[in-house]
Every structure is written in structure tokens, then in C-alpha cells.
Amino acid sequence: MNAFTPFARMPGAMHPLAWAALLCLTSAAPAWAQADARLPEVTVSSSGLQLGVSEMTQPVSVLEGDALVRQREATLGETLDGEPGITGSHFGAGASRPVIRGMDGPRVRVLSDGSELHDASTVSPDHAVAAEPLLATQVEVLRGPSALVYGGGAVGGVVNVLDGKVPTAVPDKGYEGSAELRAGSAAREKAGAVALTGGAGNLAVHVEAAGRDADDYRVGSGWAEGRRVPGSFNRTGTGSVGLSWVGSRGYLGLAFTRQNAKYGLPGHSHSFEGCHTHGNHLHCGSHDEHDHEHDHEDDGHDHDHGHEAVPVVDLRSERVDIRGELRDPFTGFSALRLRAGVTDYVHDEVEEGTVATTFKNKAHDLRVELQHEPVAGWRGVLGLQTGQRKFSAAGEEAYVQPTLTRQWGVFLLEEYRLGDWHGDWRIETALRHDRQSAEAQDSGVERRHHGTSASLGAVWRFAPGYAAGASITRAHRAPTAEELYARGLHMATSTYERGDASLRAETSRNIDLSLRKTSGDTTFDVSVFHNRIRNYIYGRTLDELDGLQLLQYSQAGATFTGMEGRVRQRITQRLGVTLFGDSVRARLDGGERLPRIAPARVGLRLDANWRDWDGAVEWVQVARQNRVAAFETATPGYGMLNLGLAYNGRTGSGTPWQVYLKARNLTDRLAHAHTSFIKDAAPLAGRNVTVGVRVSF
């Protein structure tokens, strides 16, 4: 019997208190994580106050340095999948967005160094996030709505992707850079990236580029449809050039970035063309054919199009970023920060050589922060944020009429520190007010929403190496234009979507508790959360016909409860073992379960380091997900064996270099992602071995 067989019978989601009692939860760090058990004291840029990881009141993950280099994948969702409480939406190889604590889409805000990343990924899971992980220098994840300084709508969390496209300093030796090449076996992937920063005096310039060419990927053994997922290829190219003026008190710069991508849409079907609604029921075929009337008998429409060519997304995104910081701008204030972005995004969905649908998103946003010196012991940041998004879709799948969304918000974040009362305390409070208008330009219908969000949190360092954190948040999220005005077929997800212009704003009430130990032979980091959402907006399935679902955007109370964490025991100075996992439960007030909620995970990792070598081997067991919504199917559990190995060296001139190998799913298990709309048409990749080399100079 397999030693891990008992895990296959784990329930779809374990009770959070049971997890807490066992301390079985973790940040699922990459397999090659260093053996040092201490949490990295890197600065969290998205904290608003430039805090370290251990000072944060809410759970946070930071990927940087060597760990980020080896954990990066083709998409942001894949890169973060496995971090505590995070999975990917997984739509083939070209599109995967982070899903945090069971929430995705507009509830997870993706930023480019503090500025919102405008693309079409919040509209549909088959749309890619316009960020290139190979060019990221740091990725930060703030969980839960307490990161409301970036918008009350981020009730799931915030992902901030940092990069070097706008230089913030002139290199000491006049230049610095890096180059990386990697290759993967499952999709015959070839990828590479190069970045170079140079300058003199007060001017600095940065250029960078990345490219990827991957074929259809191979799945685990035993899939009835074959060995590779048709249309799962991904070809992406990204380039950027930036220029900054750098002075003794700060910098001001801008960068232009262009990304081109082509990737397939597995599972896309034309079998629903011509389908429409009769009231709250679906009908396919001509009107003189017999309606299905809930019997779902054959309607004369041919549903077998398995041999048609897979549609291809042809994406182009052009973006201009303006970033700046001025230290000590005037009396009483320590920093003034500016972030602004202008995006021109368009992608065509090409079918059999013809453009079937074109999506466009022209957007801009501006964010200004002013950090003040302590006043009566309180130090903080006040700021203003505005943005506009003009979105349109034209063609066969134009299920949303052109919309214009305008947003603005003001926020205040304050902290207070005190000690000598049974330990050191850091107290944090935040307040934000948002307004939004969303106009459907064809019909002229406009809806306005506004709301005030607030949070209160504290970190208590009650003993050396120990810290307890707690936060309470009340946050508002306005409905998106798609939730308000959608009406039509969306064949990528096999749905007919109907919006509701009368939707009200959501109100989220979240409690987050954490406990961590950061030093000694035994370390751990565990957190639990309970999120109660009033007027939760979701796609309610009213009818189903041969795989096509009629989704009506509706509102009801919902509750999300879960936990994530890890415990590590250092066995020797060079050897350690970690037990980790996460779990989330989500349901509506009436007891109905929400769809595509990730099942519980638990894993065991052994890490080691010797001289210039470091590596680890781990087993991750994902439970069967049988807590499913109406019209949703259960997903079997699976286990994966992963391996990581890296060697760090230097050239004769002292230039550091690194060679690494990572292997995922070594046992070639067939696995399905429950968070995916196309989990059956596009299983996860099978055995995949990636080798890479990176040089920094």
C-alpha cells in the first residue's frame, strides 16, 4: 500500500480548528527553499509603511531572490500556486490568475509596483494576466481585505508584482543586470530573460526582455483523451525600457512596456452557438424545435465538435508607468510617492484563422501617497487614488456591451507602537472611502456605488521569536460592469451569463488571527480567518443543457472560513522537515456551496543544504473535493512528488551564477484543478523537469 493512500480519503475541507490543533498548515514554500527557518525580513512594499514581514498584522507572503527565480512559472497563478491559501484558476497554459482563500477575479487585486495592472483577466478566467513572472524581482501577497488601502474591493487579497523597469538608483559600478535561460520537458518549453540597468550622474536607464515558447503540455498518465492537451501552447514576448532621474532625496521615472502573447483555449466549444434563453431556461436550436422544458432531450443541435481547431488568443498590451518618490518633501512629512499607469490592451480570439471576438481595455490610474512623521506617536500614510476603465467586446462572444467605469478613493493608514507591557505591540488602523460609476454605453444605463471600509489590527511580540497577530476588517466592494450588464453566451466557460443592474455593493466582515515563531529549532506560522459577506455576488446557475449553464448574477449572504500555515523542525544544522497545508470552506447562508473552491492540501517536505548545494523533496496531497455547488462535479484527490536542487557558484571574476533543477509530479499522476472551469478538458501537467541557469552581473 502506498504510504500516502490514507490522505486520498481526506474530506474536501477540514475544520480550521482541527488544523490549528495539529499546526499542520504552512506557507507552501518552493521545494528548493533554504534550510534557514527564520522568516525573511524583507521590506513589504505594499504594506504602505515599508514594513518587514514580521511586523505585518495580516498574513503575507513574499517571494524574492533565489526562491522567486526557481518558483516562477509561465503565469502569475502558476507561480503562486502552493503559497499558503493560494491556488491558480488554471485555464490551460496561457491564463491562470491567483485564487486567494477561495476568492478570485475582481476580489483579488493584481498590482504592478502599487499601480493596478489593467488587462481583461478579471472579466474571464481564459484571459491572461499581463505580467511576466520572469521579469519580476519580488512578488508580495497580502491576504484578506485588510489590505484595503489598495481598494475595498480586494476582499480576497492583493498581489503586488515588483520589477526594475523604472530605475530607483544609479548602479555603483555604472551597470548591473542578469540573464536567465530555462527549459521544461512537459511542454517542450524554452524561455529566457535578460535585464540591464546602467547610468551615470543623475540618469539611469533600464532595458529588459523575456520570451517563452511552449508547445501543448503533457498530462499525467491515464487520461482518456490522450497524453497532451490540445491547444495548451503558450508563446509570449515582453519588452520594456525605462528612464529615471535619481537624486539624493528620491527619483522620478517612466517606462514603456509591450507584451505580445499567443496561447490556445482548451475546451472551447462551438456546440452552443445559437443557444439563447426563454425566461430562466436555456434553448438551443431554432424556435420551431421543441423546447427542452427541463427534460434536456436532444434538441437537434449537433454538440460534437471535437475535431474543430482550438481557438487562439492573440494578445497585445502596451503600458506606460510613471513612478516617483521624494523623501522629506516638506516639514512634517517623510515621503511623497507617485504611481500612475496608462494601458492600451487588446486581444483577438481567433478561430480557424478568422477573428471571432475582440476585447479591448483602455485604462489609466493614478495613486499619490503622503507619509507623515509621528503625531502623538502615530505614524501613517494618507493618499488619493483614481482610475478609469473603458472596456469593450465585439464579435461572436461579445456578451458584455461596451462599458465605462470610473473609480476614485481616499485612504488613511496609521500605526502606533508601544512596549514594556508584556511585550512589544504594533497597532494599525486603516480607513478608505471609494466611489464608482459604471455606465453601459449602448443602453445608457449607469449605476453608482460608494462605500467606506475600515480595519483595525495588532501584532504582539510577547516573547523573543514569538508574535501573535489579529485584524478585524469591514470592507465594501462595488459590482463590476460585467456583473451589472453581462448578457450572452460565453463559450470559453460554457455559460450563458446574465447581469443584474440592480446589484448592490458587497459588505465583507473579516476576522484574521495568526501565530508565528520565527527562531529556534522549531518554527511555525499559522493563521485562521472567518469572512462573512453580505450581498455576496455570485453566478447562480438557473438551468443547464448539455453542459451549458445559465448563470444569473445574484446576491446572498456568504461565509468563508479557513486556515493556512506550516511547522518546521530543524533536525541538524543542514537538515529540516516541514509539515504544511491549507483549507477553506465557503457556502451561502441557505447552505448552498459555492463553486470552484479549492480542496484541502497537506504536505511533507525534507530540505537540506551542503556547501554550495541546497534542495528539498516534498510530497503534497490534495484532497478530493466533494463539497460542490449545484451542477458542479466532484474532483478526485491526488498526490504529487516534487524535487528541487540548486548549485550556486562564482566565476573567476566573482560574478555569481546559479544552476537549478526542479521536478514536479515525478510520479506522473493525473490531476485536475477544482478551481478551473475546464478541469476535465485541461488536467494539470504531468511529469515536468525544468533546468535553468542564471547569471547576475
342-372 confidence digits (pLDDT tens): 999 999 999 888 999 999 999 999 999 999 9
pLDDT band at residue 270 using 50, 70 and 90 as cut-offs: low
Label residue 548 by pLDDT band (50, 70, 90). Answer: confident
- Give the pLDDT of residue 283: 86
C-alpha cell at 509: 466582515
Of residues 8, 6, 3, the one with CA closest to residue 638: 8
Residue 457 has pLDDT above 70, yes or no: yes
CA-CA distance, 75 to 133, in Å (whole number)?
A: 7
Half-sphere exposure of 536 (CA within 13 A, CB side): 25
pTM for this one? 0.88
- pLDDT tier, 286 (very low <50, low <70, confident <90, very high otherwise): low
How far is residue 475's CA from residue 472's CA, in Å, rounded to a whole number?
10
CA dihedral 7, 8, 12, 16 (to 10 degrees): 0
Would you state the pLDDT for residue 290?
43
Tens of pLDDT, residue by residue over 181-194, are 999 999 999 999 99
In three state form, how does the secondary structure of 205-271 look?
EEEEEEEEEECCCEECCCCCCCCECCCCCEEEEEEEEEEEEEECCEEEEEEEEEEEEEEECCCCCCC
**What does the pLDDT average to over 395-418?**
92
pLDDT tens digit sequence for 620-677: 999 999 999 988 999 999 999 999 999 999 998 889 999 999 999 999 999 999 999 9
pLDDT of the residue at 61: 87
Of the two residues 587 and 631, the one the predictor is more confident about is: 587
Whole-angstrom distance, CA of residue 346 vs CA of residue 361: 6
E strands, 376-465, where? 378-395, 403-418, 424-440, 446-463
pLDDT in tens, 104-139: 999 999 999 999 999 999 988 999 999 999 999 999
Within 8 A by CB and 6+ apart from 341, the residues are 112, 115, 116, 118, 319, 320, 321, 322, 364, 365
Assess whether pLDDT exceeds 80 at residue 461: yes
Rounded CA-CA distance 62/236 in Å is 25
Confidence of residue 40 (pLDDT cuts 50, 70, 90): very low
H/E element, 535: strand 522-545
Of 401-405, 545-549, 611-615, 618-622, the poorest mean pLDDT is in: 545-549
Is the pLDDT at 299 greater than 50, yes or no?
A: no
Concatenated DSSP letters of 351-366:
ETTEEEEEEEEEEEEE
Cα 197 from chain centre: 28
- Which pLDDT score is estimated for 577? 97
Is pLDDT larger for residue 17 or for residue 52?
A: 52
Confidence of residue 275 (pLDDT cuts 50, 70, 90): confident
- 234/257 Cα distance (integer angstroms): 19
Question: Which is more confidently placed, 156 or 422?
Answer: 156
Mean predicted confidence (pLDDT) in 513-538: 94
Please give the Cα distance from 490 to 142 (Å, whole number).
31
Q: Which residues of 561-595 are buried (b: 16+ CB within 10 A; e: fewer)?
A: bbbbbbbbebeeeeebebbbbbbbbbbbeeeebbb
Model pLDDT, residue 269: 67
pLDDT of residue 399: 87
| Structure-block grid coordinates of residue 279 | 425566461
pLDDT class for 25, splitting at 50, 70, 90?
very low
* φ and ψ at residue 358, rounded to 5 degrees: -120, 125
